[in-house]
Structure formats: structure tokens, C-alpha cells
């Protein structure tokens, strides 16, 4: 518990700072975390005797996030010429390296390497896009508040009154009571966060989005738990003492990130 609290005390202020700072720092932080997450996927696969390329997965992940950052950058801003050019060159070089390195690998290893890059890289690549939207800062904060509230509510409700297992073969400690608590926590958190952040969206839309996030985030959690169960590991990594690896911290966020981004551009903007 001391390790968890210490990590949270250091990590949360850093997270707030990076989100507030915006681009390119936000995209760089996301790319770094995504690359580490890709390596964690590869290590879990290697734990089962498979042979994906950790380096190629990490590089391809950086290219994915970098390409989305370039896409999200406003070409009319003075800083685009340098930032965009550098990012574009990195994307091209990283993509070339990744494709070239597939040569010596077997087709199955290719697929595993690409899969490791797409999850979480392909999902986290939406972060720069979301941050670049109107009220992008507010929507990222909304995403984090609702997702963290879902996890917290599910944990405490499950501990307090949880009796019926939700998915015993995937995550024995999760219960239906906890899942319902997380779902309701997401709706409440979405309502309060939307009002506090003064989001440009109707309350009915926020309630629907909150309800969806309460489901999708928990599905993301179960998905990552399934990967760990297959790999026979407790945590995806050890980057965050007391909390596990990058995937352990972002499992709910990556799925909700994609949901929020497309919900905003299709249903709100």
C-alpha cells in the first residue's frame, strides 16, 4: 500500500502536468508509454514461448502515435514546419525500420509484433487527436476522471458487498456487484466532471457517454486480465511500484479513449 500511495503521489502530478502542457509534450509522453506497453505485450507473449520482436513493436508503436500527432498538428501554426517535419521523418524512419526488421521473422512473429504495436499503440494514438479537438484538454481530463472513478467505485463496491463472480476464469476477484458499482460510478463521475469542466455538450449526451464508459472501461480491464492469464503473469510489468506495468494502469483508459474520441467528433462537435 505504501508503494501504491508513493507511486500515485508522484505519478498523478506528473500526469496532470503533461496533460496540461499539451503538444508536443503530451504526444511524446503518450508515445513513450505506448512503446513500453508494446514491449510488455511482447514479454507476455515470450512467456508462452512466442517470439515477437520487442524492438520492432516499440518502434512501430512510436510511429503510430507519431503519425497521429502529425495528423493532429495544425499546419497553419508557425511551429508546425519544424515539429511536423521532425515527427514525419521519425514516423517514416520508424516504419521503414519496422517493416525491414520483419524479414528474418516467421509470419506468426510478424502478426504478434504488429498486434503488440496495435495494442496499446493503435489505441493510444487517438490521444493526440483528442487533445487537439476543441476543449481537448477538458475532454482528456473528463476521460481520466470518469475512468479512474469507474475503477475506484468497482473496487470498493466489490470489496464491500461483492459476492457473485463476474468472470472467474479471467479475473477471480471481480464481481457483478463491483461491475455495477463501477457502472454507476462512471455515470455520476461523468455528470459531475462535465459540469465542472463546462463541456460543450448536453447532459443527455454526457449520461449516455458515461454509461458507455462504465461498460467499455471494464471490458478493457478484463481484456488485459485475459492477456495476463494466458501469459501466466500477475502484472504486465513493474514500471509503477505497487501498481504493475503500463498496461495495468492503462487497460481501462485505452478503450475509453477511443470511445470518447469518436463520440466527441461524431456526437458532440
CB 205 within 8 A of CB 267: yes
159 and 224 share one domain: yes
Same domain, 116 and 138: no
Q: Same structural domain for residues 95 and 200?
A: no
pTM of the entire structure?
0.86
Residue pair 21/63 in contact (Cβ under 8 Å)? The answer is no
Residue 13 placed within a domain? no
Residues 73 and 168 in one domain: no
The answer to whether residue 5 is domain-embedded is: no
User: What digits encode the pLDDT tens for the residues 93-145?
Assistant: 666 665 665 556 676 777 888 888 899 899 999 999 999 998 999 999 999 99
Q: Is residue 12 part of a domain?
A: no
152 and 253 housed in the same domain: yes
What pLDDT is stored for residue 269 in this prediction? 47
Residue 2 lies in a domain: no
Reply yes or no on whether the pLDDT at 54 is more than 50: yes
Query: pLDDT digits over 187-218, tens only?
Result: 999 999 999 999 988 899 999 999 999 999 99
Q: What is the DSSP string of 92-151?
A: HHHHHHHHHHTTTS-HHHHHHHHHHHIIIIIHHTHHHHHHHSTTHHHHHHHHHHHHHHHH
Same domain for 179 and 235, yes or no, is yes
Least confident of 11-15, 46-50, 112-116, 169-173: 11-15
Q: Are residues 101 and 220 in the same domain?
A: no
In-domain check, residue 7: no
* Residue 11 in domain: no
165 is a domain residue: yes
- How many other CB atoms are found less than 10 A from the CB of residue 99? 12
Domain count of the chain?
Answer: 2
Show which of 75, 109, 132 is a domain's final residue: 132
Listed residues 132, 149, 174: the one ending a domain: 132
- Residue 204 in contact with residue 190, Cβ under 8 Å? no
- Please tell me whether residues 83 and 164 are part of one structural domain: no
CA distances from 137 to 63, 141, 178, 182 (A): 23, 6, 30, 24
Domain that holds residue 244: 134-269
d(CA 91, CA 89): 5
Same domain, yes or no: 100 and 110: yes
Q: What is the percent of the chain with per-residue pLDDT over 90, rounded to a whole number?
A: 48
Residues 206 and 85 in one domain: no
Co-location of 102 and 225 in the same domain:
no
Domain end marker among 132, 150, 185: 132
Per-residue cell: 6: 508513493
Residue 83 has pLDDT above 60, yes or no: no
Same domain? 102 vs 45: yes
Q: What is the mean pLDDT of residues 221-227?
A: 93
Q: What is the pLDDT of residue 153?
A: 96
Amino acid at each position: 500500500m505504501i508503494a501504491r500511495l508513493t507511486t500515485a503521489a508522484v505519478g498523478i502530478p506528473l500526469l496532470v502536468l503533461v496533460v496540461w502542457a499539451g503538444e508536443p509534450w503530451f504526444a511524446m509522453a503518450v508515445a513513450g508509454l505506448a512503446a513500453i506497453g508494446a514491449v510488455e505485450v511482447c514479454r507476455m507473449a515470450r512467456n508462452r514461448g512466442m517470439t515477437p520482436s520487442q524492438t520492432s513493436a516499440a518502434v512501430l508503436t512510436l510511429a503510430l502515435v507519431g503519425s497521429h500527432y502529425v495528423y493532429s498538428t495544425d499546419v497553419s501554426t508557425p511551429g508546425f514546419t519544424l515539429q511536423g517535419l521532425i515527427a514525419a521523418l521519425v514516423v517514416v524512419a520508424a516504419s521503414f525500420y519496422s517493416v525491414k526488421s520483419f524479414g528474418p521473422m516467421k509470419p506468426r512473429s510478424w502478426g504478434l509484433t504488429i498486434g503488440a504495436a496495435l495494442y496499446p499503440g493503435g489505441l493510444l494514438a487517438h490521444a493526440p487527436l483528442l487533445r487537439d479537438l476543441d476543449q481537448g484538454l477538458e475532454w482528456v481530463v473528463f476521460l481520466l476522471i470518469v475512468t479512474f472513478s469507474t475503477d475506484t467505485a468497482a473496487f470498493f463496491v466489490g470489496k464491500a458487498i461483492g459476492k457473485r463472480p463476474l468472470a472467474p476464469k479471467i479475473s477471480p476477484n471481480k464481481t457483478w456487484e463491483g461491475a455495477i458499482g463501477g457502472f454507476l460510478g462512471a455515470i455520476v463521475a461523468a455528470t459531475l466532471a462535465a459540469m465542472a469542466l463546462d463541456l460543450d455538450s448536453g447532459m443527455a449526451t454526457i449520461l449516455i457517454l458515461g454509461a458507455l464508459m462504465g461498460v467499455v472501461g471494464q471490458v478493457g480491464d478484463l481484456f488485459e486480465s485475459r492477456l495476463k492469464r494466458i501469459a501466466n503473469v500477475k502484472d504486465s510489468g513493474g514500471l509503477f511500484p505497487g501498481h504493475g506495468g503500463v498496461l495495468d494502469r492503462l487497460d481501462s483508459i485505452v478503450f475509453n479513449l477511443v470511445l470518447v474520441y469518436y463520440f466527441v467528433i461524431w456526437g458532440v462537435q
